């Protein structure tokens, strides 16, 4: 994959997860426990948990230090927490997130690895219901405030949560995220893709649709990225994925408006937290992402368009994304002593630099 490297030895796997208290130093990330979990109950935290929510179960995987501020991630469709964020967190420049935050990876119902097939009668949660599940996760871990990091569908879910629970979200990192409802063309294409998934599994039609979604108009698709995507899809249960996709493409519009003299920051439709919004220049949904950017407070938001890539920004442009994320978080007072390495969003890393997933297998713990 482009802009990748071998995983270092520090804090990458769940076997190496830091759930102990590190020495406190000087910056906000290391001093503040606001948004972190209740460290008096550290013994109840496991790297992997299955948490009961109102519409079934969600799987949560934890990386980082429980004394550090909380970050919650949510993945896109066709992926799960491991295939969406594992490679990115294995990139050496991204290890700073593992060192400075307690990261809670949330998998949508039925999208985790080795998931059971959801019953035909199972009503998959809507985007708003998935956002409500985030609140249940926060209550389980006693998370009072957190940074949200969402990709595609995950960004849409976290955006809904941030509007409904403004006091709980300190900032948002959104990748390929839209606020619009699906167009008729998108809805129709998805219905056909879902039909194929439910009846025939992962077919060439399914692959073509998802390749378009992730790679867009990228002139030359990296064969490693393509094989990675196909490998991710083959690990998911087709009927579960179809239900997840149906839920997303039946999403309602997110009512979000830019603050003004008649629309104060306290308005329910104004997003008050700082936002980093990223999109690839070749993404097929770039216009919708730009529309979302136009609805954000320009004094509180940062927009990044990464050249020569589609929708898999965390894999295709890991270095540039890492730079943008670190600078954004430093602007919020985190990791202020960390020197940020600059990456060009135009130049891929040498082919010899490959990354391995930072997220490995872990034992299931039921609660």
77-86, 303-312, 348-357: least confidently modelled range: 348-357
pLDDT at 182 over 90: no
pLDDT grade, residue 218 (50/70/90)? low
Name the more confident of 187 and 283. 283
β-pairing, 48-53 vs 56-64, is: antiparallel
**How many angstroms separate the CA atoms of 33 and 298, rounded?**
29
B/e letters for 132-171, b = 16+ CB within 10 Å, e = fewer, are: bbbeebbebbebebbbbbbbbbbbbbbbbbbbeeeebbbb
pLDDT of residue 337: 80
* pLDDT, position 81: 93
| Angstrom distance (rounded) from CA 114 to CA 105 | 16
Confidence of residue 185 (pLDDT cuts 50, 70, 90): confident
For 238-279, write each residue's pLDDT tens digit. 999 999 999 999 999 999 999 888 888 889 999 999 999 999
pLDDT-wise least confident of 166-170, 320-324, 333-337? 333-337
pLDDT over threshold 60, residue 16: no
State mean pLDDT over 138-152.
96
pLDDT score at 365: 32
Top-confidence residue, 106 or 93: 106
Strands 301-306 and 275-280: parallel
Euclidean distance between CA atoms 286 and 261, whole angstroms: 29
- pLDDT band, residue 343 (cuts 50/70/90): low
The pLDDT value recorded for residue 219 is: 63
C-alpha 317/C-alpha 95 separation (Å) is 15
Q: Averaged over 21-37, what is the pLDDT?
A: 38
Range list of H helices, 216-274: 223-234, 238-249
Predicted confidence band at 170 (pLDDT cuts at 50, 70, 90)?
very high
Using the predicted structure, report yes or no on whether residue 44 has a pLDDT greater than 70. no
Render pLDDT for 157-169 as a digit per residue (tens, 0 to 9). 999 999 999 999 9
- pLDDT tens-place string over residues 188-200: 777 777 777 878 7
In angstroms, the CA 1 to CA 357 distance is 12
* Dihedral pair phi/psi, residue 94, rounded to 5°: -90, -10
Question: In the predicted model, what is the mean pLDDT of the chain?
Answer: 80
Tell me the average pLDDT across 281-293. 94
What is the structure's pLDDT at 336? 80
Percent of the chain with pLDDT over 90: 51
Query: What integer is the mean pLDDT of 26-54?
Result: 55
The pLDDT of residue 335 is 86
């Amino acid at each position: 994959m482009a802009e990748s490297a071998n995983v270092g030895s520090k804090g990458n796997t769940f076997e190496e997860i830091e759930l102990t208290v590190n020495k406190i130093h000087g910056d906000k990330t290391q001093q503040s426990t606001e948004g972190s979990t209740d460290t008096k109950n550290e013994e109840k935290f496991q790297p992997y948990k299955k948490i009961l929510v109102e519409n079934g179960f969600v799987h949560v995987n934890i990386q980082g230090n429980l004394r550090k501020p909380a970050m919650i991630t949510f993945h896109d469709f066709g992926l799960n927490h491991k295939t969406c964020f594992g490679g990115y967190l294995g990139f050496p420049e991204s290890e700073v997130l593992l060192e400075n935050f307690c990261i809670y990876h949330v998998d949508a119902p039925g999208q985790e690895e080795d998931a059971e097939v959801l019953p035909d009668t199972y009503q998959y949660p809507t985007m708003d219901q998935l956002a409500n599940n985030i609140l249940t996760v926060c209550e389980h871990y006693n998370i009072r405030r957190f940074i949200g990091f969402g990709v595609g569908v995950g960004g849409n879910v976290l955006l809904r949560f941030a509007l409904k629970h403004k006091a709980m979200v300190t900032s948002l990192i959104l990748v390929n995220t839209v606020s619009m409802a699906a167009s008729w063309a998108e809805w129709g294409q998805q219905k056909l893709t879902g039909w194929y998934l439910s009846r025939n599994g992962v077919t060439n039609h399914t692959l073509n649709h998802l390749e378009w979604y992730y790679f867009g108009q990228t002139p030359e698709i990296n064969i490693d990225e393509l094989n990675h995507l196909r490998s991710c899809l083959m690990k998911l249960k087709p009927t579960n994925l179809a239900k997840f996709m149906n839920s997303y493409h039946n999403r309602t519009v997110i009512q979000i408006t830019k603050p003004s003299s008649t629309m104060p920051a306290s308005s329910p439709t104004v997003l008050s937290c700082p936002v980093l919004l990223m999109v690839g220049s070749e993404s097929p949904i770039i216009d919708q992402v730009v529309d979302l950017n136009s609805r954000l407070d320009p004094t509180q938001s940062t927009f990044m368009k990464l050249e020569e890539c589609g929708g898999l920004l965390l894999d295709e442009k890991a270095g540039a994304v890492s730079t943008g994320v670190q600078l954004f978080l430093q602007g919020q007072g985190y990791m202020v002593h960390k020197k940020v390495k600059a990456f060009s969003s135009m130049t891929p890393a040498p082919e010899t630099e490959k990354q391995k997933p930072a997220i490995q297998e872990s034992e299931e713990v039921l609660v």
